[in-house]
Amino acid sequence: AQTPASMLAAGKFIVDSRYATTEQEESILQDITARFPNVVLMKQTSQLRAMMTIIRDKKTPKEEFVFYADRLIRLLIEEALNELPFEQKEVTTPLDAPYQGVSFSSKICGVSIVRAGESMESGLRAVCRGCRIGKILIQRDEETAEPKLIYEKLPVDIRERWVMLLDPMCATAGSVCKAIDVLLKLGVKEERIIFVNILAAPQGIERVFKLYPNVRMVAAAIDVCLNSKYYIVPGIGDFGDRYFGTM
Ligand code: URA
């Protein structure tokens, strides 16, 4: 019979909390993080990897997909909040001792790229209570194949805010680049845009930073490539369809 010790000896358990990435993954991650210092990749722990495994699995039913996607999004947003400025703040603890701490010093808002980005709104609201959230809808123009702005509803004072730009998938980056362009035209500072993303393809990252080198991007994973239909591979599939159950 298999015992935990025998399974451990057979290499079936991973005891290190850092997941061992494959050589191919490792070289992509190293290349991207070396070339694009504004890309923050979440620490690849076994816990993160286990959640990614569930949402990548094509057999995962919708309820489970949403549950684990929500957990992952929450962690991702907590990570993205690290990109905001903090200021020194001293408080007094119940022991009447001073504590040198920090506090948020910026006005933020979320902007979701409709539809898949809307899956990330509740995660942002859960950690930033009362956070203003705007929306941008972009579609591909049938004639030119270029991303086209269809609709936007954004806070009127957005130019004074830091923006958490929400889109779970970054494949060709056409939509996110168009969304960044809309934000810049409204006066948002490039370095105040934090693109919060679950999964990116290297091509998408290249495009974002070629056009907008000062934005920041926080991602949970970076995959190998795109297929001929511009899906990320190995990927998650159509995130919006799986999250909202519209298969
Ligand atoms: N959007 C998705 O939902 N999935 C992909 O793989 C690429 C873009």
| Backbone conformation region of residue 15, classed left if phi is above 0, alpha if psi is from -120 to 50, else beta | alpha
Query: Which residue's CA is the nearest one to ligand 1's atom 2?
Result: 238
pLDDT of residue 30: 87
Determine how β-strand 225-226 pairs with β-strand 232-233: antiparallel
Query: Which residue's CA is the nearest one to ligand 1's atom 7?
Result: 231
CA–CA dist 180, 18 (Å, integer):
33
Q: Find out whether the beta carbon of 244 lies less than 6 Å from any atom of ligand 1.
A: no
Atom of ligand 1 nearest to the CA of 235: 6
The 10s digit of each residue's pLDDT in 187-221 is: 999 999 999 999 999 999 999 999 999 999 999 99
**Residue 80 in tokens:** 């993205």
pLDDT of residue 247: 75
**Residue 178 in tokens:** 């168009």
Is 3 known to be catalytic? no
Atom of ligand 1 nearest to the CA of 240: 3
pLDDT of residue 105: 80
Q: Residues in the chain with pLDDT < 70?
A: 1-5, 7-21, 145
pLDDT of residue 106: 85
pLDDT of residue 8: 59
pLDDT of residue 19: 57
pLDDT of residue 18: 54
Q: What's the gap in Å between 173 CA and the centre of ligand 1?
A: 10
Q: Find out whether the beta carbon of 194 lies less than 6 Å from any atom of ligand 1.
A: no
Any idea which residue has 């509803």 for tokens?
Answer: 153
pLDDT of residue 26: 83
CB contact at 8 A, 182 and 136: yes
